[in-house]
């Protein structure tokens, strides 16, 4: 076996996870939905209404004034029966004026960082320690990176009706827990853009399974989200990948300092 190929193959499974979407996924979010989220409670939903959990959670995330989300997990890439783990370490801070994401991934072969600051329709980005920040408007950012961490999705998976295969309630000693199984084609358009961009893939990855287990409060405020997916990614050779990670939410509607924001303002026109 040519071991020099392993770093390239592991990079092909790298995903810098995100929590957003392109604007096309906002079609179900309306004034009526927002109003429903403000008045409905999980505890009053009938089983027939569980299918609306993704819509209510996505809407709640968009309309929270501020929060911090910390993601921990890994992607295991397997090639010729040899598994190699790539860590996932993300911090996202939503603020009322400025927001922030630092997305890191590490293995014995590959180390990557995506740093982004958000202010209205302007995003400034630095990838892998580049010397200067690059500036994008929202449309250009989505075209290149695929996901907006503060958009109407669950971790970048689309929430339109066709994208959701099933929603089932699970037992939980505290709060409410639901498993959302996504359609592997209709829910993954934006995630695929992100994965191809950050992994430098030859083509878009192909999913065989993707699901989110969400733990939420009675008003749909997120406590945590567990993601699991299986997919194939190609960069030179095709690799089987299994990804698992947990997003934990805190500081809901509280002010959380954004790292190095003052320094950023002095270095750019942000």
Instruction: Report the predicted TM-score, pTM, of the whole model to 2 decimal places.
Output: 0.87
Each residue of 3-37: pLDDT tens digit? 334 344 444 454 445 444 333 444 444 445 555 66
Each residue of 107-157: pLDDT tens digit? 877 788 889 999 999 999 998 867 788 999 999 999 999 999 999 999 999
pLDDT at 223: 98
Identify which of 261, 250, 256, 223 has the alpha carbon closest to the alpha carbon of residue 95: 256
**Greater pLDDT, 246 or 107:** 246
Q: Rounded CA gap, 200 and 208, in Å?
A: 20
Domain 17-267: give its CATH code: 2.50.20
């Amino acid at each position: 076996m040519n071991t020099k190929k392993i770093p390239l193959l592991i990079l092909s499974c790298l995903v810098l996870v995100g929590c957003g979407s392109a604007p096309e996924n906002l079609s179900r979010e309306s004034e009526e939905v927002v109003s429903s989220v403000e008045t409905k409670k999980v505890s009053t939903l009938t089983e027939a209404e569980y299918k609306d959990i993704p819509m209510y959670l996505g809407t709640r995330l968009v309309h929270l004034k501020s929060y911090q989300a910390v993601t921990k997990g890994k992607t295991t890439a397997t090639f010729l029966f040899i598994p190699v783990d790539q860590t996932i370490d993300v911090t996202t801070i939503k603020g009322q004026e400025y927001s922030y994401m630092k997305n890191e991934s590490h293995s014995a072969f590959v180390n990557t960082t995506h740093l982004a600051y958000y202010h209205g329709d302007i995003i400034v980005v630095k990838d892998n320690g580049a010397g200067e920040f690059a500036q994008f408007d929202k449309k250009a950012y989505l075209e290149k990176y695929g996901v907006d961490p503060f958009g109407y999705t669950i971790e970048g998976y689309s929430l339109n009706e066709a994208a959701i295969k099933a929603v089932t309630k699970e037992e939980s000693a505290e709060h409410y827990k639901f498993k959302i199984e996504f359609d592997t084609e209709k829910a993954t358009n934006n995630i695929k853009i992100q994965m191809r961009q950050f992994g430098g893939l030859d083509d878009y990855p192909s999913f065989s399974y993707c699901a989110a287990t969400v733990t939420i409060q009675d008003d749909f405020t997120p406590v945590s989200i567990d993601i699991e997916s299986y997919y194939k990614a190609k960069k030179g050779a095709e690799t089987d990948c299994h990804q698992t990670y947990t997003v934990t939410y805190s500081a809901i509607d509280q002010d959380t300092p954004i790292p190095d924001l003052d320094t950023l303002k002095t270095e750019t026109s942000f």
